[in-house]
Structure 1
């Protein structure tokens, strides 16, 4: 049942020392995930749990290969590869809709014009970039599993795989204190540096036409971002780009108000208050009550009053009203854009993480039929829920009472209720 990583086949290395492919036994297989650990940190118990975890992954269909790091013999890399059949099977188990399987998936078709466009946002079939990366640039529905989908399914698979004979509370990304002895890393499709010949990967395309500072004013390639990073990251950058676009008219109105205040601050007709302050002979009381505080003339605040007028002039009222309309339009237009993107990326009905948390699965020892999903799902009994609510509510009540007792004002010890003094 056990499978020692040190006894697995030795993988191949590229010229720069990075691990790319599996050994000759699994020729043609590329690395999808890498598990890294130090052998010196493993006790016998931890070694057994790790071997059990790797064995469970192999039962799930994951091809495994391991090798030591040449610069540090204590560092071990365990390379994982999931075939397309395994990914398709676990996509059904995790209820993850793959873009290549869904006909409703439509990438972003809003192609910008002119200087805002790039080969990723406005593809042309006669372009050299299009010929070298047709699947990424064409904006068509993916014909295979994307990098983001494969990483998502691999993470979900590892989270559901038991680690040793203990529950899967260990996780695979964040392990607790003394249990930290293994890390997991997804592998990129290839180098990010641009090549003049051969096939281009999504990482190279994004680094050149999106991540470069030369493209700061270009429209974002949302479809390529969604393919490489996943839907959550794509929605974030789509929102960020939309927010920046909507800030342009608001910034223009603010600049107009600022220019008006700056150009009229010296005119009595518009800024009569500053004119009165600057020409006043009144003397103001000192700002402090200690010795040495002197009286100051009112006209000493002339510059400050003009500065306030620049930002608070009559057009500020119009700017406030326009900002209220702008915020409403921003929310309405973004909801419309978000719905369109959700339809194109086939995530309109997806509200939360499609997978069930392993901690909930462990706590839910029984199954119950769900009339919504029409499947047997983990179920926590009412008694356990009541106990959890009571413990949580009591803890919150205790913290609230402690915070209230900390802010209750105390009477002065030298007077008040103490009777001293």
Structure 2
């Protein structure tokens, strides 16, 4: 028998076992539910249905609110499922819930039954006590000094006051049913908002049994399992109105309509989000997500402005690009013959053929890149520190202080309770609770870790395959493009080099592989997380978060890491090239304009492709599925299309709905921080995407999905630690990108050490010389691959490196300039990392995580809770003593201000 630690009605504990209900006539439980609720259970005619508003969220009596709806169809396996439903619904009635069933003849498809659930005050009060839900007990008496100077500037971006602040500010305390008169309870029907009501009902549904325990086996329980075995087809709370019009019922708040009008429409993109209304309607968990997404978008504005300025700086200094002028010059770049970039199929080529890519590279590879990389390291710190402050304020305003401990102790996952047959004493609650033996936990964790490593290895194998594709296809592109006078293929204006064609096609193939692997791994990650049997919902989400992020990190970023830190670094030199795994595939060289432009190309394709595909998938797929699912309902008169039928035809948001939203944004965060030195416009692209993302998420939540079950969350969870880790890693990656991927350090070394403060002659200085006659036979280009201008008088070719020329005593060894540049690169990395980390830690130290006014309010609330409870207990004792015939005494703190609580009670006694 399963026992819930709570009380309903009187003092007896609530029993979820179906044994008591089977002592009665189980077949008559519907009539019992109807008679107890005052609503006879009988088929309603269409005219009765018309008399009730199609948007009604009440029972047929128009008084009791529908807190939850269950739906089911009768099918060939109906007897077993019908038996489960009878037991389950009988147990819901025993707990105190009230049910009302809509016959299938009244549904739009003619085959779906709807069970409407109402939680009366006694049930709500009992479980509000169990779940320690905070409710108001005193109006907030701390003056609000949040008004900022020149507040009028923000007026165009603000929403109406009644939308932003739908209710007054109160001090709150955990609800206690035995002290109900301590709290500010006006109307019991509206004291608990619909989001709290559906959260309480779902808590009961998740723990109620549907199996008769005749053989001594454990009970089967929970709505989730009933949904999985198709006993019920759906379980959801109701929206309070249609999203495009207010409800005709005066008792309905029409908050869905307000959210759609003031939040979900795209043309509200410049308006602030009504976070209090979002929290009130959808719960704190969804509210905290949109608060974080909005804050992240606001902070992106500053990064986008600085990034755009850096890009404009690169554009304006276009004419000062001395090395590009030398490359494009016919007498300099036109006379420099470069060594082949691949074996056999690549011929000799002239440096001036890379003129376009050199100019394009300057847009992103300039002095502004260094400044922007340092700025983004500081920006990340400011973003995370200011978010902690915003989060702390929301925790207080939304009664989430100390919530995590409450959640860990009270809200065990039903799956955990069902699968863990062992019991042990909880030293905190002093109650027997299920637990998973350490041996089983270790075995499951090892299997889970091995599965994750297997899939990460699969990603790495796919990346190696893409690299092999790049090496193999480059020769093909080079052979195709060799007939052009400039060794390029002209397509609608700009020239496409073999390197660019290879990079673009490889990036596209890599993106397709990423999406396919994502689709496959999502199912695997959920399966292995279920296998680990996490104890709480928070632990479940954290475990799934780590698994999914590790996979996505490798999946999305591995190709960018390859281009940034491996491509072109292990090439060798003519006569002694390096090959991939000792095959005939020669390691890839960087584009003559540098590897940074290729990293930019990779970043743009993967980042843009993911964001565009994500928005299409988020908006279009639910809309198409709803359009197809409601095709029959569109033929029914609106007056017959009830509120529960409308919501039933929408998509289910699911327990992991927010998980994928967070994952999408955190992956984007990685793109704009880890590799931002290669593409200063990445924050601008992310800003544009997020402005759309906020409204797309709001639109689909209010129009395309059923109302999610309200849930609490005091923070963004494990994502916060992931963001902190990525913030630290981004400083390292950007320092290495500037040092080893960009040509910034070699140029600065040349300017200050070799070029006498000038960049003239840099191109000739940065290219080493190789004797063509020393070329190995396997490296020589085929006869028909060389361009028409190549002849036997050309005896040397050039390549990107710093090596001694032929004839030198250290022929083809690295020269001193190479070591000078390497030392400068390492020095730059050390200096940049230390400077940025020093500023990061200083900023983190200077900015407190919790604002001082919030800290004061928390202390004030805790003080008032103790003070008011003390006064409440004293007054209650005084009344009790008076009723028992004792002499009346004025034992209140007002009479005895200097006495402690125990002294006052002693004086009364």
Q: Common fold, TM-score beyond 0.5? A: yes
Highest relative contact order (Cα 8 Å, sep 6+), 1 or 2?
2
Q: Is structure 2 residue 238 aligned with structure 1 residue 187?
A: yes
The residue aligned with 1:344 is 397
Matching of residues 142-153 of structure 1 within 5 Å? 144-153=191-200
Q: After the TM superposition, which of the residue ranges 344-353 and 176-185 deviates more from structure 2?
A: 176-185
Q: Is structure 2 residue 101 aligned with structure 1 residue 45?
A: no
Alpha-carbon displacement from aligned partner over 1:46-86 (angstroms, at most 9, x marks no partner): 21111000001011111101122334443211111112331
1-side partners of 2:291 and 2:454: how far apart?
43
The residue aligned with 2:323 is 273
The residue aligned with 1:356 is 412
The residue aligned with 1:202 is 255
Out of 370, 394, 409, the position equivalent to 2:427 is 370
Matching of residues 85-104 of structure 1 within 5 Å? 85-93=122-130, 95-100=131-136
Q: Does the CA-based 8 Å contact 1:105-1:343 persist in structure 2? A: no
Structure 1: gaps (5+ residues): 124-129, 413-421
Alpha-carbon displacement from aligned partner over 1:227-281 (angstroms, at most 9, x marks no partner): 00100111111111111111111111101100000111122xxx22212211112
Alpha-carbon displacement from aligned partner over 1:78-135 (angstroms, at most 9, x marks no partner): 1111123311211222x241344687899x996773101111xxx2xxxxxx4xx8x9
1-side partners of 2:304 and 2:73: how far apart?
53
Query: Cα 1:178–1:157, aligned 2, differ >3 Å: closer, same or farther?
Result: closer
1-side partners of 2:247 and 2:58: how far apart?
23
- Offset at residue 17 of structure 1 (A): 5.5
The residue aligned with 1:117 is 158
1-side partners of 2:264 and 2:56: how far apart?
25
Secondary structure at the counterpart of residue 206 of structure 2: helix
2-side partners of 1:239 and 1:404: how far apart?
29
Matching of residues 167-316 of structure 1 within 5 Å? 171-173=222-224, 175=226, 178-179=229-230, 181-195=232-246, 200-267=253-320, 271-279=321-329, 280-281=333-334, 282-290=336-344, 293-316=346-369
Larger radius of gyration: 2
1-side partners of 2:286 and 2:141: how far apart?
17
Q: Does the CA-based 8 Å contact 1:52-1:163 persist in structure 2? A: yes
Secondary structure at the counterpart of residue 242 of structure 1: helix
Out of 53, 65, 73, the position equivalent to 1:30 is 65
Paired positions, count = 386
1-side partners of 2:257 and 2:432: how far apart?
42
- Offset at residue 21 of structure 1 (A): 3.3
Query: Cα 1:109–1:355, aligned 2, differ >3 Å: closer, same or farther?
Result: farther
Query: Cα 1:168–1:349, aligned 2, differ >3 Å: closer, same or farther?
Result: farther
Q: Does the CA-based 8 Å contact 1:36-1:78 persist in structure 2? A: yes
The residue aligned with 1:13 is 49
Structure 2: gaps (5+ residues): 1-21, 32-40, 171-183, 186-190, 462-580, 583-909
Q: Does the CA-based 8 Å contact 1:261-1:313 persist in structure 2? A: yes
The residue aligned with 1:55 is 90
Structure with the higher helix share, 1 or 2: 2
2-side partners of 1:405 and 1:254: how far apart?
35
Q: Does the CA-based 8 Å contact 1:146-1:227 persist in structure 2? A: yes
